[in-house]
A and B are shown apart, each in its own frame.
Chain A
Amino acid sequence: MTHTHHRRGSRESLEKDFVVLAMIDPAVKAQHTYKEPLTERVTRFLDICGRHNPVALAARTPDRRLRYLKGWDANMDGGIHRAANVSEITSCEDIEGIGHAVYTNKPDVAGLLEELKDADLGLSIVVSGVFEEVFDACERAGIEPHTVNMSLETWGKTELLPKSPVLELCTMCGHAMIAPKLAETLMDRVKRGGMTPEEAAVELGKQCTCNIFNTVRAAEIIRSNTIEQAQP
């Protein structure tokens, strides 16, 4: 489960991309019963996440996934994908022990971490992003990083990989649910004026069932490679 890892892009772009994950380990029973019932702690986690301007927020119940994605209108739904708003997620009463949120700036993440530290929820928290920025956010929150997972990029037949910006868009879903061909098709549609970068970003983000896709960053990538590129 390394789904928030290996996101590609320039430093400038990646500095606007943070994924925060909360989970408990199936084997560590003490984490399941720490202080309060798990459902209440995860609900509090989601509530805190919701106060720091997430561009995506996701939680699971026993039978469905609750997904808020900035720009996603419930009228755009298709297939198994369903949009939720933040309050629908934070008020849900049968949440399971995992949650995700996506942010676009460091102050929001630092504020979130500070609140999570004070809340002492007994949930393992992982932040994906530019290490220097994440470590700085930890320092601001008075937290010491515990373990890192570094990326040594991609090895082997790298000539098979799609080119940038498709790679940057597709790697925002670590399970590769977003087809390179879909990214190309939607960017082409934006170029021809058939849809906005934001609409294209949401259609891509819907495919990422874990809901860790950053639609704000994606729209910027799409805009700079379509509309702005076409301008004289």
Chain B
Amino acid sequence: MKIDEEKCVECQLCMAYCPVGAIKSSDEDVYVDQESCVECAVCLKSGVCPQEAFYQPPLEWPRILRSQFSDPLVAHPVTGIMGRGTAEMKTNDVTGRFREGEVGFAIEMGRPGISTSLIDVEKVAMALVGKVDFEALNPVTVLLDKGTGRFKDPRVRGVRALSAIIECKTTEDRGLEVLNILKEVSEKIDTVFSLCVINRCQGHKVPFKTRMEEAGYTPRINGKTNVGLGRPLA
């Protein structure tokens, strides 16, 4: 995103709207710091600028990834849907993506609102290689070399995004091992990640929740429940 200097009157009203604080001011002007801007377009969409000074220049590879990962109104070319990941458990009642005895993880790098360098995404992906099955249709997975967890195109590492989700799954028996790996690698990154753990219900029981609690991992009281009304392939 950029600001048209000819239109900007330096009122600075826009500065509070940027989720990552990329709109900055100097003695001369108000500008978008291109390194920290994640191309989420919140500034443009908010309509806060009375001069309509924001404009979106064409984005080339790999910078276009910033927009694909950050702006939920931009459909990712891999998933074909808007948002940063897949349908994950939201349609599990018709896809069976996560079956009994399996546990899914969504590691959302940079969330909530901190943003992430894709270098940190790579660090976490590399730590998980060989321990999980990565979700094939996920926008991060398609950028990775599956054997190493490194990005196939090293230029991707310079990308910054509001968040990027690593989606994967393993068996309940190996789930705690994955959590321990994530704990270790979380100390080596320069951002945060929010961690989702997906599990099939058995009545009102959640088998992997009990295992996590016994191992000292306590989930929050709130989360998402697929209530099983999707019908066709259930």
A residues neighboring B (CB under 8 Å): 1-7, 11, 14, 17, 21, 23-28, 30-31, 34, 77-81, 113, 116-117, 120-132, 134-135, 138-139, 143-158, 160-162, 167, 170-171, 174-182, 184-185, 206-207, 209-210
Contacts and interface: CB of A to CB of B under 8 A. Distances in A.
Contacts of A117: 229
A209 B73 contact: yes
Contact of B183 (A147, A155, A167, A210): A155
B147 interface: no
Given A80-B47, A152-B212, 16 more contacts: A1-B90, A21-B90, A28-B233, A34-B232, A113-B227, A116-B229, A120-B231, A129-B222, A148-B89, A152-B219, A155-B194, A156-B189, A176-B163, A179-B113, A181-B16, A210-B72
A128 B223 contact: yes
B223 A150 contact: yes
Given A80-B47, A125-B227, A156-B193, A151 B16 contact: no
18 contacts: A2-B196, A2-B224, A25-B94, A25-B95, A25-B230, A31-B233, A79-B48, A129-B222, A134-B225, A151-B219, A152-B179, A152-B220, A161-B192, A176-B40, A179-B20, A180-B113, A181-B15, A207-B42
Interface of A is mostly: mixed
B17 interface: yes
Interface residues of B, number: 83
B229 A124 contact: yes
Given A149-B224, A150-B196, A210-B72, A144 B17 contact: no
A6 B16 contact: no
A176 B17 CA distance: 11
Interface string B169-209: 00000000001001100110111111111111101101001
A7 B21 CA distance: 22
Contacts of A185: 16
A202 B99 CA distance: 40
Given A145-B226, A175-B162, A180-B113, A124 B94 contact: yes
Max chain B CB contacts within 10 Å: which of A117, A152, A153?
A152
B224 A4 contact: yes
Contacts of B46: 78-79, 81, 206-207
Interface string B106-117: 101001111000
B91 A148 contact: no
A180 to B, nearest CB: 6
B229 to A, nearest CB: 5
A193 B162 CA distance: 33
Nearest to A162: B113
B108 A2 contact: yes
Interface string B78-120: 0011011111111111110010000010101001111000000
A125 B234 CA distance: 13
A138 B201 CA distance: 13
B91 A124 contact: yes
A147 B200 contact: yes
Contact of B47 (A28, A78, A113, A152): A78
A148 B112 contact: no
B209 to A, nearest CB: 6
B158 interface: no
A124 B93 contact: yes
A25 B231 contact: no
B95 to A, nearest CB: 5
Given A146-B92, A176-B162, A209-B45, A124 B223 contact: no
Contacts of A4: 224
